[in-house]
Structure 1
């Protein structure tokens, strides 16, 4: 550029950066996936960009924000229910009944047949099950038997007993009627945390890292999803109905995961404390406190034995089932880890439709566009060291029965294979951005809103089409074939060109929608936060 200095040119924004910023402001996916769409009726072929669907803003802010708004709509709608969601299955069709009757005849014949005839009937049964699934039948008529280890269900002596009531088939809490005749369905916003592992400062870093219990913190994070399941189970048994929830797992500043729950209905704080105090989860795994092998000299795979061998004795390591058998035979065995919630409990009553309910929904979905580690970005060396120490503890901690870190403890993991390397487990829990929590960030009970995310997404699309008056798009038949487009294909446009077209289309669509909303009197979208 003539007449400018190098320093002036360095301050000029790059064209691609400006384009990305504009695309993000208009809600356009910045990492579109190109697909080739072929009309099977006419043979017409065209390239179509679809959103990448990322849930993290660091990858694609537009898609992440779209996902967050959808979760907010799901949370808000389930919290507002005043009638039981209808989840009754459709009646069986004549074709489904005919296939089931045919399978009954074949099943009887299969139980009485032997040899080659039995094998032939078994293949026919598989074909019938496949046809039933294609007609829309869920489940299986012949599920594979799963081996299950049974342990004593007696409660621990150091834990208070919890009264158990028969669970009624209802999801709504108690309704309250005001003197003026209005009916209220209050709900709860609940926060549960894990116990302390040592004194921490205001920024979440430990006062004394040498006494901070990083091992317990790592194990609590790994098994936190099981503790959540146990709490919901105990709560339902205690209150006597099928409590529904929308929950989000986030890290505290000290990096320990904690749980936010939107509960439909109310439970007193005294009863909640009783349920929390009686909730625990025991991990019945082989001991993993003292490794018997070093990470740089782990057991090696033997093709001859088809197993991993001890580096010293060169004998096959005991399998995972062998290790559990030894644990079952030991009458004095203790669980490898036991976790429970901390004493802190925050429960807020929320009236549906109130400003407080809207604030809680925003709070629940606030960090959904970030990974666990991104929720609290380290701002100093002390915080970074805290993350490093926790990540180092998680690296060689077994996360599941199939984790390669069991090799350090002289145990062959479940489903062992030659590629296992201690400290290189591919589970999400070992990745730095997850900080030990490998479960789902959003936990939604099945009867929360009576709909899936696909249902909510379909409702949003139907609302837009209704506002625009576009009925053709809704009734358009599905007769397309889709295939991915390779980056080197000659008809593939550059990314900048595709983003420019998407921005122009987005502006046109937004203008048409705003005009339609103005004509309709300012109606709002059901999934708008």
Structure 2
């Protein structure tokens, strides 16, 4: 008789933790998984309530729900401005009497400060500076944007450094046209008499640093130019700014764009951009080939000091500074190093950043399936940090990323970077404790891979609205949908004064801390209620009035 083998006993599966189950449920319903606690005090009744509010992060690794809402908001913003047929209107509110009075008071303070400077009354200048600061705080409270410039008596007027504007001889020339104020594209008439006003989807890449495999890793790591790749990533944002400047001058109109920065598999940044209107493909490629950015920094190819013998901070001098560890001589300041560059007209720039030869240009019609695909591709990686876009799946990819990060470690990322000490230059604002290789700048962090700028780039006249105004539009759209079917969300009524409630953040040091799981459960319940109300409203409205997912 054949014996039947019985399987080994399997251990009992552990049930999920309550907190983990709540976070999973929050993700499914779109609620914030780490809500912030705010104490709301009713000034009329004195009642106090702890209210959970979303954390507002844009990273899915921290909160998938908030990151997804941020992504949808960017999609809304991109869609609103991409295929406009009329010029966007940027309206400015008329100034109020209070604002005009504050501006007049600010002008009187500035006049009095100028008189105090001429009389060399430093005490009076200090008092007037405090009054001006208070006045500008009041102006911001009245909704005034920006600030008025003011020079302090001890501030020397910075000398404007003039660089030659002559174009490099190794790049093609560009046509130069007077830039008109137009921001919308051309219209075309088809054979059937219909009018089309297409737009453009553009992709720009960086040059090659060496042959790579399909997974982005170099064929020969020893010949791959990691230093150039690191420097290009650090200065990529300035190169893109120069591209838009050149494009507007070459086209002759105010080109508007919505662009996002993402990494390729090899780690180099590249740009996807939705451009309103059409531009000839040949002209776009010509502008990309002719665009460059010269970095006029001190030369930093060969280190002057090593990690074993770094400059030391000397507190005994009248002006503390870093000095040579052997001779005790102070290092050149950053401004002095720039003066040396100005004095030598034959000195080349420290680095020149250029775009790659791969330029992809696609024409897109508004409302087409292709437009939706391009928008989705445009914001595909906005919920991830740069290093999360292409996760290393093999040891070879992990080694490549590590080499790239190591190349970034000792590259100067800004004028204030501690790495300048390796090259015998004191960074701007030098202070004790600076250690090369330990700069806290974003460019040196592995999650940024050298690019420290904004991931989403939007031109000023893209839609005529900023992101806050687009967020308000989405909220108003939801409220209109709810109101059309008789649903009134619970919120402050019109009879409530604007200052009825006082909102106070609950700090980590607050002894009366709310239970985090309870906050999470309340956030889930509230989100489910909102979702049910909005779905009922969508079901009761015509299809033309339920545009997109906004809840």
Asked if TM exceeds 0.5, the reply is: yes
Match of 1:40 among 39, 43, 47: 43
Equivalent residue, structure 1, for 2:263: 251
Indicate which of 192, 206, 212 corresponds to 2:204: 192
Q: Any gaps of 5 or more consecutive residues in structure 2?
A: 1-7, 152-156
Deviation at residue 320 of structure 1 after TM alignment: 0.7
Asked if 1:388 is matched to 2:402, the reply is yes
**Does the CA-based 8 Å contact 1:295-1:423 persist in structure 2?**
no
Tell whether the 8 Å contact from 1:243 to 1:263 is kept in structure 2 after alignment.
yes
1:485 equivalent in alignment to 2:506: yes
Q: CA deviation at 1:353?
A: 0.9
Give 1:230 shift: 0.2
> 1:409: which partner in 2?
423
Q: Residue 219 of structure 1: CA displacement? A: 0.4
Specify the alignment match of 1:93 in structure 2. 96
Q: CA offsets per residue over residues 1-26 of structure 1, 9 Å max, x none?
A: xxxx9943345433333222111111
Residues 142, 505 of structure 1: CA spacing in aligned structure 2 closer, same or farther, 3 A cutoff? closer
Q: Deviations over 1:53-98 (max 9, x none)?
A: 1111111111111111111111111113111111142333344444
Between 19-28 and 382-391, report the one with greater CA deviation: 19-28
1:202-217 paired onto structure 2 within 5 Å: 202-217=214-229
Paired position in structure 2 for 1:137: 144
Structure 1 pair 300/451, CA: closer, same or farther in 2 (3 Å)? same
- Name the SS for the 2:227 alignment partner: helix
Contact 2:478 2:550 in 1 (8 A): no
Partner of 2:154: none
Aligned with residue 523 of structure 2, among 489, 498, 502: 502
Q: Say if 1:138 and 1:460 are closer, same or farther in 2 by CA, change over 3 A.
A: closer
Residue of structure 1 equivalent to 2:186: 174
Which of 431, 435, 449 is 1:435 aligned to? Answer: 449
1:410 Cα shift?
1.0
Which residue does the alignment assign to 1:521? 542
**Residues 441 and 463 (structure 1), Cα distance of their counterparts in 2 relative to 1, 3 Å cut:** same
Once residues 13 and 127 of structure 1 are traced to their aligned partners in structure 2, the CA distance between those partners, rounded to angstroms, is: 54
In the alignment, which of 462, 469, 481 is matched to residue 467 of structure 1? 481
Tell me, yes or no, if the aligned pair for 1:73 and 1:527 is still in contact at 8 Å.
Answer: no
Question: Which residue of 59, 64, 84 maps to 2:62?
Answer: 59
**Alpha-carbon distance in structure 2 between the residues aligned to 1:320 and 1:81:** 46
Alignment coverage as a number of residue pairs: 525
Structure 1 range deviating more: 119-128 or 227-236: 119-128
Unpaired runs of 5+ in structure 1?
Answer: none
1:512 counterpart = 2:533: yes
SS at the partner of 1:328?
A: helix
CA contact (8 A) 2:474 2:550 kept: no
**What is the deviation of 1:418?**
1.1
Equivalent pair of 1:460/1:525 in contact (CA under 8 Å): no
Structure 1 residues 182 and 151: alpha-carbon distance in aligned structure 2, compared to 1, 3 A threshold = same
Distance of aligned partners of 1:83 and 1:262 in 2 relative to their CA distance in 1, 3 Å threshold: same
Residue deviations 1:351-371, cap 9 Å, x none? 011100000000001111111
Match of 1:260 in 2: 272
Q: Is the 8 A contact 2:83 2:198 kept in 1?
A: no
Q: Which of the residues 373, 389, 393 maps onto 2:387? A: 373
Pick from 314, 327, 339 the counterpart of residue 313 of structure 1. Answer: 327
Structure 2 distance, partners of 1:345, 1:434, is 24
DSSP 3-state at the match of 1:47: strand
SS at match of 1:482: strand
Q: TM-score, normalised on structure 2?
A: 0.89
- CA–CA distance in structure 1, aligned partners of residues 193 and 332 of structure 2: 69
> Residues 72 and 527 of structure 1 are in contact (CA less than 8 Å); yes or no, is this contact kept in structure 2?
no
**CA distance change for structure 1 residues 484 and 223 in 2, over 3 Å: closer, same or farther?**
same
Contact 1:70 1:456 in 2 (8 A): yes
| Cα-to-partner distance string for 1:367-397 (whole Å, 9 max, x where unaligned) | 1111111111111110000000000000011
Q: How do 1:329-408 residues align onto structure 2 when only pairs under 5 Å count?
A: 329-408=343-422
Q: CA deviation at 1:406?
A: 0.5
* CA distance in structure 2 between the partners assigned to 1:126 and 1:19 by the alignment: 47
Whole-Å Cα distance in 2 between the matches of residues 487 and 160 of structure 1?
A: 58
Instruction: Summarize the alignment of residues 443-462 of structure 1 with structure 2, pairs less than 5 Å apart.
Output: 443-462=457-476
* In 2: Cα distance, 1:448 partner to 1:343 partner: 27
| CA-CA distance at 1:240 after TM superposition | 0.9
